A and B are shown apart, each in its own frame.
Chain A
Amino acid sequence: DVKVTQSSRYLVKRTGEKVFLECVQDMDHENMFWYRQDPGLGLRLIYFSYDVKMKEKGDIPEGYSVSREKKERFSLILESASTNQTSMYLCASSPYRVTEAFFGQGTRLTVV
């Protein structure tokens, strides 16, 4: 059974903290993605990676960075958390050609 696992379901962090969200996939997929979901705004792409150490900005990369040191792991980093980064964060992986993509269970991040 295919699996994308996000390290936490719920997180509460303080403003200004550096936050790490981890995502691991076991399908040997080349592509990995980070999205955030907010009411009325759908799924917005933050960053994606199509290979180890490769990354591409999505629609809303400001305030975020990513790391992909190994094929199976893609980390999202909030350099200095702010309250407007309170959101549901979703990680996904797909084959090189995106004919299907699988999501993790999501991380609900609250920044106070």
Chain B
Amino acid sequence: DQQVKQNSPSLSVQEGRISILNCDYTNSMFDYFLWYKKYPAEGPTFLISISSIKDKNEDGRFTVFLNKSAKHLSLHIVPSQPGDSAVYFCAASGNQAGTALIFGKGTTLSVSS
């Protein structure tokens, strides 16, 4: 069973508007969450992360929100740019050393100008 779920395979947004990508998890032992961006034929690039002791982390145009009680996190991109068009992956890891990093299936974001 999937431990990290990204239920929206795709999202289309206009340039300048907000993009909101969602992620749900089932394992309450996860305590660190990461977002990655991936272009075709390249490796994923780390974007932003959040610890389970926080509910928000911001880095420039990117903000990640964590709702532990709902086991839900979201990535907000404001303002969206055409160069943001890529596949976005949510990932989670546990609080024990040597734990695996588990990914969702990804959401393809398309930003139109």
| Chain A contacts to B: CB under 8 angstroms | 4, 30-31, 33, 35, 40-45, 48, 50-51, 54, 56, 58, 88, 90, 92, 94, 96-106, 108
Contacts and interface: CB of A to CB of B under 8 A. Distances in A.
Given A103-B43, A106-B43, A97 B32 contact: yes
Given A100-B34, A104-B43, A106-B41, A42 B100 contact: no
Nearest to A37: B38
Contacts of A98: 32, 34, 93-94, 99-101
Nearest to A50: B98
8 contacts: A31-B101, A43-B44, A56-B98, A94-B101, A98-B94, A103-B43, A105-B43, A106-B41
Given A31-B98, A43-B89, A98-B32, A103 B44 contact: yes
Contacts of B98: 30-31, 50-51, 54, 56, 96
A42 B101 contact: no
A96 B100 CA distance: 10
A45 B89 contact: no
Nearest to A41: B105
Nearest to B43: A103
Contacts of B42: 105-106
B97 A50 contact: yes
Interface residues of B, number: 28
Contact of A100 (B9, B49, B100, B105): B49
Contacts of B100: 33, 45, 48, 56, 58, 98
B103 interface: yes
Interface in B5-37: 6, 9, 32, 34, 36
A45 B102 contact: yes
A35 B103 contact: yes
A42 B99 CA distance: 19
